[in-house]
């Protein structure tokens, strides 16, 4: 794969570009982005080699879409319209059901692989791109049977080179599970941040008194709203379900506190401590 196109040259797309260039220095990496300043910055940082337009996609061996999921719904069919029969296209979106449906009947559906790398940071833009972002990270692939075998093999080879773990899942199951383990975490962080900002008006007090626990918990609230609002919209039904369960657990905890039942509070926390065993097991 010598001719690579990255659509969206921020954290996700830029990190793919950096590692691909390191693995395959002979490749040429083109960037497409609706933010001209991002393209200039990506060239300056040597993330991409050149700017490109959609009309140039006919020469692509690989196209990676790393843009908000709402934009993917309209851009992905356009990309497939332009690529050759030998190009492999994959996205990195955090929702999959609507995106897969958007190209279900596209003549070049076989060129598309639905992908969600479980990787990222709270930062955005080309400067956020880093080497080895995907090393040892899980990469969920949906509807692999709808992608041409020879093309999916090329993508899987790249994922292997990047050190990723592969898991297969159908789009509906993916969106339901990811609402619990990712989307809810971001909502919790945003709302924790909002609660503190609303009540602690003195920013200096927040800065001085916020310990590492608060900082690590609220870290995701620094994530891009332009990326996350469309994710919540596309996965609305699943996200609302997770919020109902989360709010129910919060209310239960509050009731235990009001009743002064701190033995039950202890038991709730002790039971939940099992999460450390689960997370340690997937390191």
pLDDT tens for 215-224 read 778 888 888 8
| The pLDDT value given to residue 9 | 97
Task: Kindly report, residue by residue over 88-114, the tens digit of the pLDDT.
Answer: 999 999 999 999 999 999 999 999 999
pLDDT at 116 over 60: yes
Please check whether residue 129 is in contact with residue 47, taking contact to mean a CB–CB distance below 8 angstroms.
yes
238 pLDDT more than 60: yes
- Is 123 a residue whose pLDDT tops 70? yes
CATH number, position 27: 3.40.50.720
- Domain end among 116, 150, 170: 170
Q: Which of 170, 204, 239 represents a domain boundary (last residue)? A: 170
Quick one: 50 and 158 in the same domain?
Answer: yes
d(CA 108, CA 110): 5
The answer for residues whose C-beta is within 8 angstroms of residue 7's C-beta and 6 or more apart is: 13, 31, 32, 33, 63, 64, 65, 66, 67, 75, 79
Are 167 and 139 contacting, i.e. CB atoms less than 8 angstroms apart? yes
Rounded Cα–Cα distance for residues 164 and 155 (Å) = 11
| Whole-number pLDDT of residue 186 | 93
Confidence of residue 228 (pLDDT cuts 50, 70, 90): very high
Same domain for 8 and 55, yes or no, is yes
Instruction: Give the pLDDT score at 122.
Output: 84
Q: Indicate if the pLDDT at residue 203 is higher than 70.
A: no
Q: Residue 103 in contact with residue 240, Cβ under 8 Å?
A: no
Quick one: average pLDDT of 260-270?
A: 95
CA 30 – CA 52 distance, rounded (Å): 6
- The pLDDT value recorded for residue 68 is 95
Tally the C-alpha atoms within 13 A of residue 89's C-alpha that lie toward its C-beta: 27
pLDDT-derived band of residue 209, with 50, 70 and 90 as boundaries? low
Confidence of residue 213 (pLDDT cuts 50, 70, 90): confident
Beta partners for residue 7, in sequence order: 32, 65
If asked whether residues 179 and 145 sit together in one domain, one would say no
Q: Is the pLDDT of residue 230 over 80?
A: yes
Kindly state whether residues 115 and 189 are assigned to the same domain.
no
Q: How far apart are CA 180 and CA 146, in angstroms?
A: 27
Residues of the chain above pLDDT 90, percent? 82
> 18 and 152: one domain?
yes
Q: What is the dihedral of CA 226, 229, 233, 235, to 10 degrees?
A: 100
Contacts of 159 (CB under 8 A, 6+ apart): 134, 139, 166
Q: What is the pLDDT of residues 140-186, one digit of tens each?
A: 999 999 999 999 999 999 999 999 999 999 999 999 999 998 999 99
Q: Are 42 and 121 found together in one domain?
A: yes
Q: In the listed set 113, 147, 170, which residue is the last one of a domain according to the structure?
A: 170
> For residue 199, what pLDDT is reported?
74
Q: Which two tokens stand for residue 239?
A: 């996200």
| Mean pLDDT, residues 249-253 | 96
Between 63 and 220, whose confidence is greater? Answer: 63
- For residue 204, what are the domain limits? 173-280
- For the segment 122-133, the average pLDDT, to the nearest whole number, is 94
For all residues of the chain together, what is the average pLDDT? 93
Per-residue DSSP letter, 61: S
Contact (CB, 8 A) for 177 and 238: no
Examine the domain organization and report whether 148 and 161 are in the same domain: yes
* Helices within the chain (DSSP H only): 11-23, 36-44, 69-82, 97-102, 149-161, 171-178, 184-199, 203-209, 212-218, 225-234, 236-258, 262-272, 275-280
Q: What distance lies between CA 12 and its chain's CA centroid?
A: 7
């Amino acid at each position: 794969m010598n001719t690579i196109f990255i659509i969206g040259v921020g954290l996700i797309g830029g990190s793919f570009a950096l590692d691909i260039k390191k693995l395959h220095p002979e490749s040429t990496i083109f960037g497409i982005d609706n933010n001209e300043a991002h393209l200039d910055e990506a060239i300056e940082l040597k993330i991409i080699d050149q700017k490109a337009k959609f009309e140039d996609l006919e020469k692509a061996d690989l196209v990676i879409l790393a843009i908000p999921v709402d934009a993917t719904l309209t851009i992905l069919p356009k990309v497939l319209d332009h690529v050759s029969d030998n190009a492999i296209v994959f996205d990195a979106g955090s929702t999959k059901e609507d995106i897969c449906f958007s190209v279900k009947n596209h003549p070049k559906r076989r060129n598309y692989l639905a992908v969600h790398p479980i990787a990222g940071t709270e930062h955005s833009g080309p400067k956020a791109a880093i080497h080895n972002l995907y090393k040892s990270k899980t990469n969920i692939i949906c509807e692999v049977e709808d992608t041409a075998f020879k093309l999916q093999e090329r993508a899987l080879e790249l994922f292997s080179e990047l050190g990723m773990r592969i898991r297969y899942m159908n789009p509906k199951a993916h969106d339901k599970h990811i609402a619990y383990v990712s989307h809810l975490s971001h909502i919790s962080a945003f709302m924790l941040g909002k609660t503190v900002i609303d009540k602690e008006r003195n920013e200096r007090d927040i800065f001085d008194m916020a310990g590492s626990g608060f900082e690590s918990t609220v870290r995701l609230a620094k994530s891009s709203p332009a990326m996350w609002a469309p994710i919540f919209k596309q996965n609305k039904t699943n996200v609302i379900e997770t919020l109902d369960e989360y709010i129910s657990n919060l209310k239960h905890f509050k009731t235990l506190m009001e009743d002064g039942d701190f033995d039950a509070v202890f038991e709730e926390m002790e039971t939940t401590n099992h999460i450390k065993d689960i997370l340690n097991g997937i390191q």
